[in-house]
Chains A and B, each alone.
Chain A
Amino acid sequence: MLRRTFLGLGGALLAASALGGWTLGRGAGQAPLLLSARNDADGRHYAVGYRLDGSRQFAVAVAERCHDVVPHPTLPLALFVGRRPSRESYLIDTRDGRLLQTLASPADRHFYGHAVFHRGGEWLYSTENDTRDPGRGVIGVWRLDGERLLRSEELSSHGIGPHQLLWMPDGETLVVANGGIRTEADSREAMNLDAMEPSLVLLRRDGTLLSKEQLPARMNSVRHLAVASDGTVVSGQQYEGDPQDAVPLVAIKRPGQPFQAFPLDEAQRLAMHQYTASVAIHSELRLLAITAPRGNRLFIWDLDSGAVRLDEPLADCAGVAACAEGFVVSSGQSRCRLYDCREAKIRMQALELPAALWDNHLRLV
């Protein structure tokens, strides 16, 4: 015990000296707040918020494992979205971790792990499964009433097994990754590996379908997304087919262009082990970052040229999000890291946050 404390202090000293170089210019001098789902060593689930300087804002135990986190655009609250096939999500006050509401999915629906608040802050859209017609993609529409989200209506995701959804830069058009996999209530078991239908869909907030595009390999599940300020969309795939097949694990839809493979070096594609996790874009630096936890690897590319900026081993890497300097990355096994991408040579710094046990996604506010 003493040894752990001692090591922790040593680390704090290192981090404190490194903090001097940080751009903490946030008025109140507060470092950004990192929101994520996290486990403890005994496998219990938490919704947590930590300042990037290591101070804990909150850690609240929740019954179901969460996946993505959706910060409200203006208020200090966030929805921790239940991971599929969870029927619960948690609306939390990000100042102190107070649980404002345990959001229950309607009958015959479960959450798929992702959601977004509309820029006005009144509406929330979540990807859900219609378990009476397993895999039929639903986008639940919720209205924020005070400190509660109320079910308003639902839209079609125009596809099967929707996973992540995000806003296009207009804030009115949704882009949806339909993973293409059918699963039943209370199950994570794929029912249709021989007949998957993944797709990338653009739709208006009223549900009108604008476009639906597919990649050539049908077993290549389109799962995670990032959108740049110019409207470039990048998706990360998880391939359900043979380990030897060569399929596009990263795809891109540039403004006015079709959805197509983002060119990868063969060595990088192989290093991903057919699986990508979180995707993030830094719009100002025009960089793309993707975690590949099965390959234990983090990648950063130049979004425009496709040139590799970083290809680094990072055990069980999980969430990634853009910050002022570049990207913050979490891990289920290692310490969280900050990658400063402002210079030609990317510099890594270990963050003084608790190490390991971080779940798939993170958000910075």
Chain B
Amino acid sequence: MLRPALLSLAVLASLAGCSKSEPPKPKVEPFAAASAAATDGVLLPAYTRWTDSDRQLADSARAFCAGEQDLAAARQAYLAAHTAWAALQPLAVGPLSEGNLAWQVQFWPDKKNLVARQVGALLDKTPQLKQADLEKASVVVQGLTAYEYLLFDEGIDLADLEQKRRYCPLLLTIGSHQQALAAKVLAAWLGDQGLAKQLKNFPNGRYTEGREAVAELLRVQVGAIDGLKKKLGTPLSRGSKAQPQPYQAEAWRSGASLALIDASLASAEALWRGGAGQNQGQGMRSLLGKEQADLVTRIDAAYAETRQRIAALGQPLTALLADEAGRASLDELYDSLDRLHRLHEGELAKALGIQLGFNAHDGD
């Protein structure tokens, strides 16, 4: 057994020995550099867009309920907020995945149509709904799922003034709740003790080195791609002989299911390829050497293929589920997502020398 002092001498000696034959150590270790680039080029811009979209959502609720905005514009604000939220799924490291914040933004899967029942029950019990009432209410009614229900459900007609009066307090409070929640999350990213700093300066209380930060980014990215399989597979009744279940899809009322999957994929791809501007080309892709060129090509192709499939579908998910040809094209999309998932979980993780961990999903 080497004593500590001897050990450090031995290490110094071997380091000195290395210096002649090896290239000089790069200024920033590659994993730390990749984590920093992803933070500035992909994560912070996406969190900022989400915060902006939720501010616009709150503004839209106020304008719509004051009669200064039409329903089409209100729906557009919702779609923008939900799209920005979907884009965060592969980037949900830190505060978003801690506690029950994600449930407060979106309640999915909603197997029993809880959103319809709980919205009705809440407004029957509290017609003059105040912000504090919503904060105390179930997560089912606090987020975008309830907001979408109000704007798109066939049983609600917001052109009818009486109904508008009934539902506007909930639109307004959800808008404010989402705006405050997004602002709180963004604040947790910024500042001296913020997550952005922890993804850029090592070691810290969260990550002891750049490799751990990249491992965390990859783990969340892989989990999100797996989640997209679930989002498509559940309404498809994939793996069972049951009928398709269009109402198990996320955002089925607004017909945005596939667009949301694509928004998530776009973020996953940005992590892989690197963000725009200054951080261009500094994605996880850049951590693979020349000997991994084949893997790089296959992951590039898998993203391109999957996203092209979505673009080619041309109809909302619920319409595609209704006939055999539509279901076949959705099955093909599922298989593309599955390939993309396995490339990341298996070959990419291995090529990066990253372990994705197993205690979280395979404990005892």
Secondary structure class of chain A's binding surface, majority of residues: mixed
Contact B4 A16 (CB under 8 A): yes
A2 to B353, CA, bound (A): 13
Number of B residues near A (Cβ < 8 Å) is 47
Contact A30 B1 (CB under 8 A): yes
A357 within 8 A of B: yes
A356 to B212, CA, bound (A): 10
Contacts A333-B215, A355-B355, A359-B359; A13 near B205 (Cβ below 8 A) = no
Chain B stretch 1-46: residues in CB contact (< 8 A) with chain A: 1-5, 7-8, 11-12, 14-15, 18, 22, 25, 29-30
A337 to B204, CA, bound (A): 12
Residues of A near B205 (CB, < 8 A) are: 312-313, 348
A259 within 8 A of B: no
Residues of B near A359 (CB, < 8 A) are: 359
Which of A88-96, A133-141, A294-302 is the contact stretch? Answer: A294-302
Interface flags for B323-358 (1: CB within 8 Å of A; 0: not) read 000000000000000000000000000100111111
B105 within 8 A of A: no
Q: CB < 8 Å: which of B8, B22, B98, B209 contacts A17?
A: B8
Secondary structure class of chain B's binding surface, majority of residues: loop
Contact B98 A295 (CB under 8 A): yes
A9 to B22, CA, bound (A): 14
Contacts A67-B364, A295-B98, A360-B364; A315 near B4 (Cβ below 8 A) = no
Contact A296 B360 (CB under 8 A): yes
A61 to B355, CA, bound (A): 19
A318 within 8 A of B: yes
Which of A98-106, A250-258, A269-277 is the contact stretch? Answer: A269-277
Contact A350 B208 (CB under 8 A): yes
Give me the interface of B with A, judged by CB distance under 8 Å: 1-5, 7-8, 11-12, 14-15, 18, 22, 25, 29-30, 94, 97-100, 103, 138-139, 203, 205-209, 211-212, 215-216, 219, 350, 353-361, 363-364
Closest 6 CB pairs of A and B: A316-B357, A333-B357, A332-B357, A356-B355, A350-B208, A19-B4
Q: Can you report 13 residue pairs joining A to B where beta carbons are below 8 Å apart?
A: A20-B4, A20-B5, A30-B1, A41-B355, A270-B100, A315-B216, A316-B356, A334-B208, A334-B212, A335-B208, A337-B208, A359-B359, A360-B363
Give me the interface of A with B, judged by CB distance under 8 Å: 2-4, 6-7, 9, 11-13, 16-17, 19-20, 22, 29-30, 39, 41, 51, 53, 55, 67, 83-84, 113, 163, 223, 238, 243-244, 267, 270-271, 275, 277, 291, 293-297, 312-318, 331-335, 337, 348, 350, 355-360
